[in-house]
Structure formats: C-alpha cells, structure tokens
Amino acid sequence: MDRIRIVGGNELRGIIPISGAKNAALPLMIASLLTDDTLTLENVPHLADVEQLIRILGNHGADISVNGRRERQGEGYSRTVHFTSRNIVDTTAPYELVSKMRASFWVIGPLLAREGKARVSLPGGCAIGTRPVDLFIEALAALGAKIEIDGGYVEATAPEGGLIGARYTFPKVSVGATHVMMMAATLARGTTVIGNAAREPEVQDLAKCLNAMGAKISGAGTSTVTIEGVDQLSGARHRVLPDRIETGTYAMAVAMTGGDVVLEGTDAALLDTALEAIRRSGAEITSTESGIRVVRNGGGIKPVDVVTDPFPGFPTDLQAQFMGLMTKSNGISHITETIFENRFMHVQELARLGAKISLSGQTAKIEGVERLRGAPVMATDLRASVSLVIAGLAAEGETTVSRVYHLDRGFERLEEKLTRCGAVVERVSD
C-alpha cells in the first residue's frame, strides 16, 4: 500500500496548475446518460473517483474514450473525455460499484428520466457523517416517481408518459440532491421549480452544460432554479470548471510554509470566502491573468475563526485543511463544522504532529504551536488526508501519511505539483 513521505521545512515557490473540479466533473459525466448523442467534457481530472464513475457508466452502456483513445489509455493531467450513451443496456447500478463512491448514486436521476426506471444501490463513500438519501427520494417523488427500497436498493419508476414537472423546496440545502433533481427535471413534462437549491459553482456548471445540451434551466447559482422540460437532449462540448477545493488547499499550503506560488488556471471568484480567511491569516492573495498568486513572506500565521456553510460560505471541503493551517497560528482559533457531524476525524492525527486541538460539539478549538514535529499519520478521508500533508510540509523532520488512496480520490498528482515548487514529497510503495 502506498504512503506519502514528506520532509518539512521548505517554502513553496513556483507554479501549480489547478485541475478540473472533481465535484463538477462527476455530475457532468452522469449527465451524459440523458442523451444518446456524445457529450465531450474537457479538463476532466485523472482521479480514482473519476475512473470509478467511468466503470459505472460503462456498466450502463456508455461508450467512453479519452482524446479519441479508449479510456484505459488516458493518463496524466486533466483530459478531454467523450461519453456516448446511445443505448442504456442496464438500469441497475449494483452495490459493488456504487458502494465505493457516494456520488455514483446520482445516476438514479438520468436513468429514471430517460428510461422510466432505475434500480440503484444505496450509496457508500467516505465516513464523514450520515448523508441520507431521503432528500433525493423526496425530490424524485415530487416529479411523480414511485420509490421503493428493497434489499439495499432504491427502486424508482416514472409514471406512464414520464416524469412530471413540479414545485419542490428542499428542507435543507443539498448539492447532490439539487444535481439529481435538476438532471431528472430536464426531461420531465412541464416546468419544475426547485426551492432552497444549492448555489455552488458546480451546480452552475452542470446547468451550463445541460443548457448546451438543449435543456431550459434558469436561476442556477440562486436558491430558486427553474427547469422547463424538453423532449430530448443532444450532445455538447463543455469545459469542467477549475477545482476550487484544490485551489484553496494549495493556497493554504503556501500560507502554511511561506513562499510565492501562482495557482494557474483557476478563478478567485469560485472561493471568495475561503480566500478571505486565508488573507486574514497573513497571506497576500491577488488575481493574475493566469490565475491566483499566493505569497507569505515572514511574519507569523494569525488565528482566524471560521464556520462552514453552504456556498457562498466557507466550504466544508476546506475545513480540515484550514485546521492544518491554524495549528501553527500565533494564537487561538475556532472552527465550527455545520455540514457534517463527523468531520473532525483528522484531529487525532494532527495531534500526533504536535497540534493542540480540543473539541466541543461541532466546534474545534485550535491553540497554535510554534513547532510541529513529523510523525507517521493515517488519512481518514479525502480532505483530512490533505490536511496532514499541509501540516507535514511545515513540520520538523519526516512525516509519512498512510492510506493515500483517499488522496488519489480527489487530488491529481499532488506530490508532483508540490515537488515542482520545492517541497520534499514522494510516494513510497511498501
């Protein structure tokens, strides 16, 4: 099993290219099931989650190629991938595939809308708290679907003639459920109005792609999204937006170690709240023609309090990384997690490096320390794993991070990108 070995103490200087967003690519890939034409996606990251979803889509009958080659030949940085779902050969998404990645459950929306039925295993994914599918089920039921749960599978059937447009307001904001209802509603009869919709850039990106495919969606990026159903969707070409979580992660790495790095190919507007928190910690952040420049020269890291919230608030997917940054602040900071109830599993591992963190309910109190010391640590989930990398970059001596398959789910060539900027980071195989 691979591990990441880090020798801390080096500033980061250079250019880090930001990959396409995993959280945008996954629903875009799933949207290819809505049409029998080819959907071409540019800037698709090369990640374990993307490869897993490619296998799932192939199980449904999608033909997938990378830059004109079969998908297994596609290697390296973000790629152009062609998805053609001319014939859906199976409307069942089996447990052995869906259990490995929660987002694969989202195929239920397109399959139900296009084929009138879907049988999808209840999802798996990383253990960062309970994320029930009740919002998905209620949203699809509002469109007229009959839903049953049997033997660990959600079985959905559309009424004769297809799904029917409806008004539905989510009781709480859900990015995934917004994706699914929006996709399903594109082929529903009549108009659908989604209230309390997620406003994340990834939702806006999906709407942009669906509209290019012939959908009629307005209001994406606001809390009310309106979809006028159409008879069919066509193919399109769409570029996946830059990964705002990767952007924030590397910005925090520079703030942690010091240095001067240009994050290339990204957009500050995607994560204003997070960048403002990093600025308050003492880093200088400016937009450039090619992306974002992050600089921290001299001076300590200032303590900053943050509360995670749905977009445009501070992203829960950057909470662990920001905690890593705060471990070396020159005071006391507080991080309150409002999205997931079990997303502080990285605290014990950061403590192995010398961090002083105490928990009270959903709030972590971080007392900054002058020095962190390298140690063996273990990744518990995707974002927690990279928080340990950030801490290791500033720790004295050697840190080894095990269970790096979590990292491979969401960060494309992390060790290579950091090494090019002067970090001592390498992948070690046992």
Q: Specify the pTM.
A: 0.94
Beta-sheet strand order (sheet of 224-228): 167-169, 191-195, 224-228, 216-218
Give the residue from 401, 351, 346, 345 showing the smallest Cα distance to 372.
351
Judge if 63 and 193 occupy the same domain. yes
Q: Which two tokens stand for residue 355?
A: 């961090």
The answer to whether the annotation marks 417 as part of a ligand binding site is: no
Confirm or deny that 173 is annotated as ligand binding: yes
What's the domain range around 289? 2-18+242-429
Cis upstream peptide for 312 (omega within 30°): yes
316 plus 409 within the same structural domain: yes
Same domain? For 203 and 104 the reply is yes
Helix, strand, coil percent values for the chain (each to nearest 5): 35, 30, 35
Q: What φ, ψ does residue 156 adopt, rounded to 5°?
A: -120, 135
Domain count, the chain: 2
Enumerate the active-site residues. Answer: 126
Contact 141, 215 (CB under 8 A): no
The answer to whether the annotation marks 310 as part of a ligand binding site is no
Task: Tell whether residue 134 is among the known ligand binding residues.
Answer: yes
Shared domain for 150 and 199, answered yes or no, is yes
148 and 55 in a common domain: yes
DSSP secondary structure code for residue 187 in this structure: T
Per the annotation, does 172 bind a ligand? yes
CATH number at residue 270: 3.65.10.10
Show pLDDT as tens, one digit a residue, over the chain (430 residues).
Answer: 789 999 999 999 999 999 999 999 999 999 999 999 999 999 999 999 999 999 999 999 999 998 755 544 444 467 999 999 999 999 999 998 888 888 899 999 999 999 999 999 987 544 434 446 899 999 999 999 999 999 889 999 999 999 999 999 999 999 999 999 999 999 999 999 999 999 999 999 999 999 999 999 999 999 999 999 999 999 999 999 999 999 999 999 999 999 999 999 999 999 999 999 999 999 999 999 999 999 998 789 999 999 999 999 999 999 999 999 999 999 999 999 998 766 788 999 999 999 999 999 999 999 999 999 999 999 887 777 899 999 999 999 999 999 888 888 889 999 999 999 999 999 998 7
